[in-house]
Structure 1
Amino acid sequence: MRVYISILLCLLSVSLFSQTTRKYSNEFMNIGVDAAALGMSSAVTSHTADVNSGYWNPAGLLALKDNQLALMHSSYFANIANYDYAAYAMPLDNQSAIGISLIRFAVDDILNTTQLIDEQGNINYDRISLFSTADYGLTFSYARKLPVQGLNYGVNAKVIRRIIGDFASAWGFGLDAGIQFETNNSWKFGIMARDITTTFNAWAIDEGEFEKIRDAVEGQNQELPESTEITIPKLQIGVSKLLNFNYDYTLLAAANLNVRFEENNDIISTSFASINPALGFEFGYVDMVYLRAGMGNFQNELQIDNTEQLTFQPSFGVGFKYNGIQIDYAFTDIGDQSVALYSNVFSLKLDFSIFR
Structure 2
Amino acid sequence: MKTTLKLLLPIILCGLVATPIQADSAGRAGAYLKMGVGARALGMGSAFTAVADDATAAFWNPAGLALLKKHEASFMHANLTLDRKYNFFNYAHLLKDKQGKTKAVVALSHIRFGIDGIPETRLATGRTDGVPFDPADNLPATDPGGTYTPGRNVYIFSYFDDTETSTFGTYAKQLSDRWYGGLNIKSLRQDLFTNSADSWGLDLGFLYKVSDRTMAGLSLRDLGEKLTWDTPSGHSDRIPVTTTVGLSHKPNDRLTLAADINKVQDMNAKFRLGAEWWMKDFAALRLGSQAGDLTLGASFKVETWRFDYSYVDETLGEAHRISASKQF
TM-score, L = length of structure 2: 0.79
Instruction: Tell me the C-alpha RMSD between the 2 structures.
Output: 2.1
Aligned to 1:82: 85
Shift of residue 260, structure 1, vs aligned partner: 2.7
Selected match of 1:231 from 225, 231, 239: 239
- Report whether the alignment pairs 1:194 with 2:221: yes
For residues 144-202 of structure 1, the C-alpha deviation after alignment (integer angstroms, 9 at most, x for no partner) is 111x3121000011110100021x21001110100011133411110001123x21211
Would the aligned equivalents of 2:54 and 2:68 in 1 still touch at CA under 8 Å?
yes
Shift of residue 123, structure 1, vs aligned partner: 5.2
Aligned to 2:134: none
Selected match of 1:294 from 288, 296, 302: 288
Q: Within 5 Å, which residues of 2 pair with 1:242-253? A: 242-244=250-252, 250-253=254-257
Of residues 88-97 and 153-162 in structure 1, the stretch that sits farther from structure 2 once superposed is 88-97
Aligned residue type for 1:170: A
Aligned to 2:202: 175
Would the aligned equivalents of 2:213 and 2:251 in 1 still touch at CA under 8 Å?
no
- Report whether the alignment pairs 1:343 with 2:323: no
- Structure 1 consecutive aligned stretches of length 4 or more whose deviation exceeds 4 Å: 116-119
What percent of counterpart residues are identical? 27
Larger Rg: 2
Shift of residue 120, structure 1, vs aligned partner: 3.8
Indicate how the Cα distance of structure 1 residues 77 and 22 shifts in structure 2: closer, same or farther if over 3 A, else same.
closer
Q: Within 5 Å, which residues of 2 pair with 1:260-279? A: 260-262=264-266, 264=267, 274-279=268-273
In structure 2, C-alpha distance between the alignment counterparts of 1:62 and 1:252, rounded to whole Å: 19
In structure 1, C-alpha distance between the alignment counterparts of 2:158 and 2:153, rounded to whole Å: 17
In structure 2, C-alpha distance between the alignment counterparts of 1:116 and 1:346, rounded to whole Å: 43
Aligned to 2:304: 324
Shift of residue 133, structure 1, vs aligned partner: 0.7
TM-score, L = length of structure 1: 0.73
In structure 2, C-alpha distance between the alignment counterparts of 1:72 and 1:260, rounded to whole Å: 24
What secondary structure sits across from 2:45 in the alignment? Answer: coil
Selected match of 2:184 from 119, 131, 156: 156
Aligned to 1:33: 37
Aligned to 1:91: 94
Aligned to 2:293: 313
Aligned to 2:230: 204
In structure 2, C-alpha distance between the alignment counterparts of 1:144 and 1:120, rounded to whole Å: 70
Matched residues, number: 276
Shift of residue 344, structure 1, vs aligned partner: 1.2
Aligned residue type for 1:233: V
In structure 1, C-alpha distance between the alignment counterparts of 2:27 and 2:318, rounded to whole Å: 24
What secondary structure sits across from 1:62 in the alignment? Answer: helix
What secondary structure sits across from 2:79 in the alignment? Answer: strand
Indicate how the Cα distance of structure 1 residues 23 and 77 shifts in structure 2: closer, same or farther if over 3 A, else same.
closer
Aligned residue type for 1:83: Y
For residues 290-320 of structure 1, the C-alpha deviation after alignment (integer angstroms, 9 at most, x for no partner) is 11011022xxxxxxxxxxxxxx211111111
Indicate how the Cα distance of structure 1 residues 47 and 130 shifts in structure 2: closer, same or farther if over 3 A, else same.
same
For residues 262-284 of structure 1, the C-alpha deviation after alignment (integer angstroms, 9 at most, x for no partner) is 2x4xxxxxxxxx32110001111
Aligned to 2:171: 142
In structure 2, C-alpha distance between the alignment counterparts of 1:294 and 1:348, rounded to whole Å: 20
Indicate how the Cα distance of structure 1 residues 96 and 129 shifts in structure 2: closer, same or farther if over 3 A, else same.
same
Would the aligned equivalents of 1:152 and 1:180 in 2 still touch at CA under 8 Å?
yes
Aligned residue type for 2:36: G
Would the aligned equivalents of 1:23 and 1:231 in 2 still touch at CA under 8 Å?
no
Shift of residue 62, structure 1, vs aligned partner: 1.1
For residues 2-39 of structure 1, the C-alpha deviation after alignment (integer angstroms, 9 at most, x for no partner) is xxxxxxxxxxxxxxxxxxx9981111111100000000
Selected match of 2:153 from 122, 143, 163: 122
Aligned residue type for 1:254: A
Indicate how the Cα distance of structure 1 residues 114 and 91 shifts in structure 2: closer, same or farther if over 3 A, else same.
same
In structure 1, C-alpha distance between the alignment counterparts of 2:81 and 2:211, rounded to whole Å: 45
Indicate how the Cα distance of structure 1 residues 59 and 23 shifts in structure 2: closer, same or farther if over 3 A, else same.
farther
In structure 2, C-alpha distance between the alignment counterparts of 1:346 and 1:149, rounded to whole Å: 35
Contiguous gaps of at least 5 residues in structure 2: 1-24, 97-101, 127-149
In structure 1, C-alpha distance between the alignment counterparts of 2:161 and 2:293, rounded to whole Å: 30
Would the aligned equivalents of 1:22 and 1:229 in 2 still touch at CA under 8 Å?
no
What secondary structure sits across from 2:33 in the alignment? Answer: helix
What secondary structure sits across from 1:49 in the alignment? Answer: coil
